[in-house]
Amino acid sequence: FQPKVLAGRRLLITAGPTFEPIDPVRGITNHSSGKMGFAIARAAAEAGAQVTLVAGPVHLPTPRGVRRIDVMTAQQMFDTVLPQAGQHDVFVATAAVADWRPASLSEHKIKKEGKKQAPTFELTENPDILAAVASLAQPPYCVGFAAESEQLLAHARAKLLRKRIPLIVGNLGPATFGRDDNSLLLVDAHSERPLPADGSQADKLTLARALMTELAQRLAA
């Protein structure tokens, strides 16, 4: 039984990778499975929240009671999130958004035949969805995620300041992408604490539920 600690709250969540096309059959993406974001969407709905989940290309079922919008690219995710962010109380950015996309999209498949040299691709920067939502005039409570291979706390706190958000969730676990277990570090401006509290691993749904309890407390404070 989950107490309805988020009853009446509206949560907007991004999840999964983005896919940045190079030509009609190829693109740039990453190994994000979307599992953490989908677990958060499920836990939020269980806790009584109205949940909108904006998902990149993933192979996961939509959690019960969750409104899901599928997108491919970072720009599509941005265009979907920004107009509705202001109507939500909380924005949780779990998506592993591609930092760059090919500067131009080839209309036809790039062929190997007849080319002396391998092609090169120019990249251009994608918009930072979380930073854009956080800088709205009346932003929702913004929660970011940080996947780092070293110096998690320092990087997480730097990210908090750079994006002007109140809470960052760091992944402590090794190579968390695609796994069911994870270990988190909650970082705000003044403090940090591991989840689970003893720094062990827990499955992503258990962590998501604990995170929703934490979120409810912060919204009520």
Count of residues touching ligand C5P (by CB under 6 A): 14
User: Residues 43, 97, 152, 187: which binds ligand C5P (CB under 6 A)?
Assistant: 97
Please enumerate in sequence order all residues whose Cβ is within 8 A of that of 69, keeping only pairs 6 or more positions apart, or say none. 52, 53, 54, 55, 80
Q: Is 159 in the site for ligand C5P (CB under 6 A)?
A: yes
Find out whether 52 and 81 touch, Cβ atoms under 8 Å. Answer: no
Binding string to ligand C5P for residues 61 to 90, with x set by CB under 6 A, is what?
-------------x----------------
Residue that the structure tokens 């969805």 belong to: 129
Q: Which is nearer to ligand C5P, 48 or 215 (CB)?
A: 215
To the question of whether residue 188 is assigned a binding role by annotation, the answer is no
Residue closer to ligand C5P (CB basis): 97 or 207: 97
Q: Which two tokens stand for residue 211?
A: 């995170």
Is residue 145 part of the contact set for ligand C5P (CB under 6 A)?
A: yes
The binder of ligand C5P chosen from 126, 176, 182, 183 (CB under 6 A): 126
Quote the CA–CA distance of 39 and 56 in Å, as a whole number.
15
Q: Is 159 annotated as a binding residue?
A: yes
- Region from 3-11, 41-49, 144-152, 187-195 binding ligand C5P, contact rule CB under 6 A: 144-152
Q: Are 11 and 66 in contact (CB under 8 A)?
A: no
Continuous segment of H or E residues that includes residue 91: strand 90-93
Closest CA to 58 of 39, 31, 79: 31
Pairing of the two strands 167-171 and 184-187: antiparallel
Q: Is 171 a catalytic residue?
A: no
Q: Is 99 known to sit in a ligand binding site?
A: yes
Phi, psi torsion values for 145, nearest 5 degrees: -120, 150
Q: How far is the CB of 17 from ligand C5P (least distance, A)?
A: 10
Q: What gap in Å lies between CA 170 and CA 81, rounded to an integer?
A: 22
Q: Which is nearer to ligand C5P, 48 or 88 (CB)?
A: 88
Interacting residues toward ligand C5P by CB under 6 A: 14, 74, 93-95, 97, 126, 128-130, 144-146, 159
Residue positions forming the annotated binding site: 99, 109, 127-130, 145, 159, 163
